[in-house]
């Protein structure tokens, strides 16, 4: 419920230093260190679960700040601890100065992405947004609870920059058809043929690196992929 959820009034009110201490100065820090306060979060994994995608992508793209958004408190805490432990073991393994590849570029936040995504991100801030194995909400009367709905697509289009990519993967065919239908119908999302992303290591991670994706693999289930490019804003 909302009163337990912490979210900034607007993206500029968000203090990211807790999440990415190497990249953001603390509010009471006199001077930013070199390289601090120059980056923004660019990739969001919505409903990140146990964080498998983020842990796979973080060392592959050490210069890109990425964030998981997860509504369950215990799961968010698990991912927070997982990142902290990995950061610590990486920096113990390395010598002296912190180097990229130490998971400094990844974090997780407890949030209801369906309600508050625009509290965290400015217009056009994100270049990638992931919806991987989202909860299916099978019954018709529960479809409005789905994480992709016509109304919410306007919010996702707002935070995604033109040219940015929205990824969906699911093992539920009905949900795949629903997500693809609404994305196809939205003027700001252009379908990307799966063949175009066949060699994309990011899509490969999106399909295989999450905990849910691994479970589907073990059970030899199907995976349905639909990716969309954010269109240019219409000129008025
Ligand atoms: N993406 C992960 C994976 O592939 O392993 C997790 C998939 S799990 C089936 C769906 C996740 O979405 C759950 O962890 C759930 O708590 C989270 N979730 C559902 N609604 C959400 C919301 N409105 N905001 C943030 N997370 C949400």
Print the domain residue range for 147.
37-230
Judged on CB neighbours under 10 Å (0-12, 13-18, 19+), 63 is: exposed
DSSP state of 55: H
Residue 185 lies in a domain: yes
Rounded CA separation 46/112 (Å): 9
Residue 16 lies in a domain: no
Residue 48 lies in a domain: yes
ipTM greater than 0.90: yes
Residue 6 lies in a domain: no
Of 98-107, 144-153, 164-173, 174-183, least confident by mean pLDDT is 98-107
Work out the percent of the chain whose per-residue pLDDT is above 90: 86
**Range 104-125 average pLDDT:** 97
Residue 12 lies in a domain: no
Strand partners, 107: 67
pLDDT at 80: 98
Q: What confidence category does residue 145 fall into, taking pLDDT thresholds of 50, 70 and 90? A: confident
Chain centroid offset of residue 166 CA: 10
Q: Is 135 a catalytic residue?
A: yes
Of 3-7, 28-32, 188-192, least confident by mean pLDDT is 3-7
Q: What is the CATH number of the domain that holds 82?
A: 3.40.50.150
Q: Give me the chain's average pLDDT, please.
A: 93
The model's pLDDT over 16-54, given as tens digits with 9 standing for 90+, comes to 999 999 999 999 999 999 989 999 999 999 999 999 999
**Range 90-115 average pLDDT:** 81
Count the neighbouring beta carbons within 10 Å of the beta carbon of residue 173: 11
Strand partners, 132: 169
**Distance from the CA of 97 to the center of ligand 1, in angstroms?**
35
Total domain count for the chain?
A: 1
Strand partners, 226: 168
Residue 162 lies in a domain: yes
Find the catalytic residue in 2, 6, 81, 135: 135
**Distance from the CA of 49 to the center of ligand 1, in angstroms?**
5
pTM of the model: 0.95
Instruction: Tell me the CB-side half-sphere exposure of residue 50, using CA atoms within 13 A.
Output: 8
Residue 68 lies in a domain: yes
Residues with CB under 6 A from ligand 1: 47-49, 52, 69-72, 75, 112-114, 132-135, 147, 210-213
Of 88-92, 96-100, 164-168, 208-212, least confident by mean pLDDT is 96-100
47 is an annotated ligand-binding site residue = yes
Residue 89 has pLDDT above 80, yes or no: yes
């Amino acid at each position: 419920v909302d009163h337990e959820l912490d979210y900034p009034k607007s993206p500029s009110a968000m203090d990211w230093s807790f999440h990415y201490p190497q990249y953001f100065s603390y509010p009471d820090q006199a001077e930013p260190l070199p390289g601090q306060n120059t980056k923004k979060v660019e990739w969001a994994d919505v409903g990140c679960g146990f964080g498998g995608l983020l842990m796979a992508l973080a060392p592959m793209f050490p210069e890109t700040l990425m964030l998981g958004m997860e509504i369950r408190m215990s799961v968010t805490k698990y991912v927070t601890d997982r990142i902290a432990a990995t950061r610590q073991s990486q920096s113990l393994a390395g010598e002296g100065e912190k180097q990229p590849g130490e998971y400094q570029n990844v974090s997780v936040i407890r949030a209801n992405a369906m309600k508050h995504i625009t509290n965290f991100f400015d217009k056009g801030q994100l270049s990638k947004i992931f919806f991987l194995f989202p909860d299916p909400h099978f019954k018709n009367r529960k479809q409005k609870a789905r994480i992709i709905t016509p109304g919410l697509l306007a919010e996702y289009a707002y935070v995604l920059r033109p040219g940015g990519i929205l990824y969906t993967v699911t093992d539920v065919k009905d949900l795949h058809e629903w997500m693809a239908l609404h994305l196809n119908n939205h003027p700001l999302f252009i379908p990307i043929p799966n063949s175009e992303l066949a060699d994309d290591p990011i899509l490969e991670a999106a399909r295989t690196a999450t905990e849910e994706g691994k479970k589907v693999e073990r059970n030899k289930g199907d995976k349905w992929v639909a990716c969309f490019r954010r269109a240019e804003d219409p000129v008025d």
